[in-house]
Structures are given as C-alpha cells and as structure tokens.
Amino acid sequence: MKTNTQSFTLVNLQTVTMQIFAALVLLGTALHGAAPMTHSMMNFITASSQVPNFPEFVFVGLVNEIEVVHYDSNSRKYEPKQEWMIRVTGDDPQYWQRETEILFGDQQLFKNNIEVLKQRFNQTGGVHILQRMIGCEWDDETDEVKGYEQYAYDGEDLSLDLETETWVAPKQQAVITKHKLDNNKAWMDRYKHYHTVYCPEELKKLVNLGRSSLLRKDLPSVSLLQKTPSSPVSCHATGFYPDGAMMFWRKDGEELHEDVDLGEILPNHDGSFQMSVDLDLSSVKPEDWTRYDCVFQLVGVKEHIFTRLEEEKIRTNREKPTDKNGINIPAVVLPLVVLLLLLALIGFLVYRRRITGRWC
C-alpha cells in the first residue's frame, strides 16, 4: 500500500481540516467484463501542530477514492476500513504490524519536519499543517499509468513533475528543498519506480481483491421535486454507485441545454452518491409538461432511468389547499368527520338503551 516517507527538510501543501477526510469518500467502478475506466490509489498524510481536537498525525489510504486503510497518532494502529482489505494478509501475516511501525516512524519524522519549517518561515507557534499526497492512476483499457507526488505546508505546494523529473516550488522558502531533491538522482529514480511500477502493481492487486465492493453498480431512486409552483422542477437521483453518471432533461426525446441547471455529484453518508438537474418551466404551458422527461444514466450500465414530467409525480413543500378565508381545508374536514362519527355512535347507543334497557 505504501512506502516509508523520506526525511525531507522542507515540504509544503494545502490547509487541511477534519472535513477533508470526511470528504474522502467512496467511489468505485468496473474492471474486467465492464466499461473501461481509470482506477486510482492515493495516500494522504497530514501532520498538524496545535490543531484542537485533531490528531497530530493522520494517514488515509484510498482506492478509487474509497478509504481502505487508516492510521492516526491517537490509535497508533494501521487498520483496514473495508472488510475485503482484511484479506491482504493472506500471504503476508505481518502486514498490519509492519505498516503500523513504519507509520509510527513517519509520525515522528513529520513532527520534526514541521519544526524545521516553522524555523524556515520564522514562525514561533500557532496552527500549522503539513501534508503529503502520493499515488497513481491506472487506465484498465490502455494500461496507461500516471503518478502523483505533492507536499504542502500551510497552503503552499511543492509538487513533483515526473515528466521533467523536477520539483516545482512556488514559494522561495521551498527552493532550498527543490534544489536538494532535483540534484538527488537516486531519490528521483526511487520516486519514478514507485509511481510507474510499485504503485500500479499494488493498485491492480487491491482492485482485484476488492472487486465485489469497488466494482459494483447501484442504480438510484429518482424523484421530481419542486419547492413552490413557480420554482424549477428538480429531477433528483440518490443512491447510485459509483459516481460516474449523467443526468439531463429532454423535450420530445431531444436533450435540452437551455433553462437547465445541472448540479454537482455529491456523496451520501452511506458511500453512495446523489445528483440533480433543474428545469425552469416558467415559459412552459401545463398541457405541455408531459413532453418533457428526465434521463439518468450510470456509466457502464446499459439501462437508462426515464422519468416523465407529470404533475402528480412531483413532490413539493407547498402548503395544502385552503378556502377563501385562508383555512386549511383538511384541518377542518378531518375533525368534523370524527365528530359526526362520534355523534352517530352515541345516537346508536341511546337507541339501543331504549330498546333493550341495557348499554351493552
């Protein structure tokens, strides 16, 4: 899954909070016997100084953007986050213990690096974040691979350009480390081997190991939503997996591009995804609504989900009908019906009492 972090005296990257890790949510797709796609393996290391209620060191490993392993300085354990990851020890019983020891060493290294960086930037205290992102992508159709390596300190990046075999440093304080890394041929060869050989091989192994989870296809439930009669109608799909999906409105079978607002694909708490596309009906006559439909397509799945625009299908927040005096009609009718039924029951009991002289 990873290699030991090296002892760099500088490194930079973007500011990180707990929400970043919550956002590192599940994604996945097909491999053999399905649509071609790009798979990814990314490892994120975040070291922090004086951040309240946040571990000083966190490691998160993702495959296809699904968190599969986790380590932090509070637990000091390298642990699987997916059931299928437990099987990684099939031919390596010491895997979890060995990786725990490596990450504990990285934890001390990153803590020291923050202190070096604080001196370089003339900082004496306060909140500081140091992060490393390392990983690769693999196209299962072309077999093309790409590697990524990036550091950041308090929002400023230092990234590796594998094509030119140089580091890119936007900040003057990072130039010292850039030159040191650029001139270290042995380290550059090691980086290239990780990104072009080790990482892709590990990624292919993990994708195959977790195929039942990573490569599944879940279709969503689709609903039509509208806040008020004058609001756009939103076609909302939720519960689909993975996040490779398309959604659009059609009129008479032709895709619409005007009066349409496509929303972002967002994660659900259970690892599935949701998205919506709005249609402005302000210039459309009610009798023409049925000429419109919403189409959802999950990449790699032949079936499409079609939802025709019909008023009775729309779920809305609008208030229930009221009479001319502004009284909610159901609120009045329901108690009246209950009262009439009660009076009828009392009348029956009185009648029975007169006939039989008994209440029961």
Q: Which residues of 91-113 are buried (b: 16+ CB within 10 A; e: fewer)?
A: eeeebbeebbebbbebbebbbeb
Whether residue 25 is predicted with pLDDT greater than 90 in this model: the reply is no
Angle at 137 between CA 136 and CA 139, to 5 degrees: 150
CB contact at 8 A, 261 and 234: no
| H or E segment to which residue 158 belongs | strand 156-161
pLDDT tens track for 218-237: 999 999 999 998 999 999 99
Mean pLDDT of 19-43: 50
The arrangement of strands across the sheet holding 38-49 comes to: 79-80, 66-72, 57-63, 38-49, 128-139, 145-153, 156-161, 166-168
Closest CA to 110 of 132, 142, 143, 77: 132
CB 106 within 8 A of CB 100: no
Encode pLDDT of 131-146 as tens digits: 999 999 999 889 999 9
Per-residue pLDDT, 336: 59
Residues 260-282: what's their mean pLDDT?
A: 93
Q: Average of pLDDT values for 83-105? A: 92
For residue 107, give the nearest of 157, 160, 45, 165 by alpha carbon: 45
d(CA 259, CA 279): 6
Lowest mean pLDDT among 13-22, 166-175, 301-310: 13-22
pTM summary value? 0.65
Q: Read off the pLDDT of each residue in 30-56 and give the average, rounded to a whole number.
A: 78
**Per the structure block, which two tokens stand in for 175?**
């130039």
Superfamily grouping for domain 18-213: MHC class I-like antigen recognition-like (3.30.500.10)
**pLDDT tens by residue, 318-336:** 554 444 444 454 544 556 5
Give the closest residue to 38 by CA, choosing from 135, 132, 136, 162: 136
Phi and psi angles of residue 200, each rounded to the nearest 5 degrees, phi first: -60, -40
Q: Is 359 helix (H, G, I), strand (E, B) or coil?
A: coil
pLDDT digits (tens, 9 = 90+) for 300-310: 888 999 999 99
Looking at residues 337-355, what average pLDDT do you find? 58
What's the rounded mean pLDDT across residues 289-312?
Answer: 94
User: Which two three-digit tokens encode residue 6?
Assistant: 């090296």
The DSSP bridge pattern shows strands 233-240 and 245-251 to be unpaired
Residue 33's pLDDT is what?
34
Find out whether 304 and 271 touch, Cβ atoms under 8 Å.
Answer: no
CATH 2.60.40.10 matches 221-316? yes
Nearest Cα residue to 134 out of 44, 15, 6: 44
